[in-house]
Amino acid sequence: MSLRRGYSVGALSGLALLAACAAPPPAPAPAPAAVAPVVQIEPDPLPVTPVPVPQIVIVQSPPQPTAQQLPLPTAPPVNEEEQQALALLVDLQRYAVEAGEDLRRELAAANLALTRTRSDANRIRLAMLLTLPTAGPPDDARALSLLEPMVGRSGNASPMKQIASLLYAQITERARSVREEQRKTAVAQEKLDALRAVERSLLLERSRNAGGGGGGGGGGTGR
């Protein structure tokens, strides 16, 4: 009896286990219902009057030129007369220190240049050389005649006219000094000649007196 009860209990336990395994799984719990969104009612916006905005004008400065784009400086025009005047002044300064033989060659070349081209520069060069004693006998008269056309020229004082006027004034002053020295020399020579004439007269008178006295004494002794 106990054996049958044990068997029945075991059978019931096995049946219960099989039933538990064969039973379908429990259904999932239903999902919670979705919550309806809360709609916020916004009030109508107030009308806004647009504020006029002034128009902004952007002024762009022109691009600055680079060093390669900058224009090259324009050279001033060359004044030909000023260039000739500078070359002439260099020659005049050179004449003042050159030796006599070189100056004589310069004088011959200046005469030839003036014969070919009667320019102001050639006139001034020759006039300067004619006043230098080491170049030859000075000829102030010819030098002044070469400079007079430029000195007497009307109009603005050009560089050539300024040089010619300065040289003309120097030659004129030297010629005046030479004439003054010549006049003084002539006066001194005249005085010297007068003294020599008086001396000769006195010597002649003394000779006559000496000859007359010797003749009278000899005659008295003979008587």
pTM value > 0.75: no
- The structural domain count of the chain equals 1
Q: Which two tokens stand for residue 217?
A: 């004494």
DSSP letters, 113-161, are HHHH---HHHHHHHHHHHT-GGGSS--HHHHHHHHHHHHT--SS--HHH
In a domain, 107, yes or no: yes
In a domain, 133, yes or no: yes
What pLDDT, on the 0 to 100 scale, is given for residue 203? 87
Average per-residue pLDDT for the chain? 75
Contact of 147 with 167, CB cutoff 8 Å: yes
Report the pLDDT averaged over residues 121-141.
Answer: 90
In a domain, 156, yes or no: yes
Q: 133 exposed, middle or buried (CB, 10 Å; 0-12, 13-18, 19+)?
A: exposed
In a domain, 116, yes or no: yes
Count of positions (residues) in the chain: 223
pLDDT exceeds cutoff 70 at 187? yes
In a domain, 56, yes or no: no
Q: CA 43, 44, 50, 56 torsion: positive or negative?
A: positive
**pLDDT of 35-82, one tens digit each?**
555 556 666 666 666 666 666 666 666 666 565 655 666 656 657 778
- Domain of 165 in residue numbering reads as 81-176
In a domain, 153, yes or no: yes
**Confidence bin at 114 (pLDDT 50/70/90):** very high
In a domain, 192, yes or no: no
pLDDT exceeds cutoff 70 at 98? yes
Encoded amino acid at 209, one letter = N
CA dihedral 177→181→187→192, nearest 10 degrees, is 170
In a domain, 140, yes or no: yes
